Amino acid sequence: MYRTIRILLLAGFIALWSNITMAQDYNPIPVAMPSLMFAPDARGGGMGDIGAATMPDIYSQHWNAAKYPFVSSDAGLSFSYTPWLSKLVSDINLLYASGYWKPGNDNLSAISASLRYFSLGSIDIADMNGEFWQSVSPHELALDVAYSRKLTERFSGAVTLRYIRADYSTGNDETTPGNAFAADIAGYNESYITLGRSEALLGFGVTLSNIGTKISYDGGASSMFLPANLRVGTSFGLPIDGKNSLSFSVDLNKLLVPTPQLPDTNETAEEAQQRIDDYNNISSIGGIFKSLGDAPGGFEEELQEVTWSLGAEYTYNNQFSLRTGYYNENEYKGNRRYFAFGAGFRMKSFQIDAAYLLSTAQSNPLDQTLRLSLGFDIEGIRNLMR
pLDDT in tens, 47-60: 999 999 999 999 99
Residue 298's pLDDT is 87
pLDDT in tens, 106-157: 889 999 999 999 988 776 665 555 555 556 678 899 999 999 999 999 999 9
Residue 46's pLDDT is 95
Distances from the Cα of 35 to the Cαs of 1, 219, 357, in angstroms? 22, 21, 17
- Count of CB atoms situated within 10 Å of the CB of 374: 16
Residue 190's pLDDT is 94
Listed as ranges, residues in the chain with pLDDT below 50 are: 1-24
Cα separation of 215 and 33, whole Å? 9
Residue 198's pLDDT is 78
Residue 9's pLDDT is 44
Torsion-angle region of 298 (φ positive above 0: left; ψ -120 to 50: alpha; else: beta)? left
Instruction: Read off the DSSP letter of residue 264.
Output: P
Cα separation of 285 and 6, whole Å? 31
Residue 232's pLDDT is 98
Q: What domains can you pick out in the chain, each with its CATH number?
A: 3-384 (2.40.160.40)
Residue 42's pLDDT is 96
pLDDT in tens, 297-330: 888 889 999 999 999 999 999 899 999 999 999 9
For the chain, the straight-line distance linking the first and the last C-alpha, in angstroms and rounded, comes to: 52
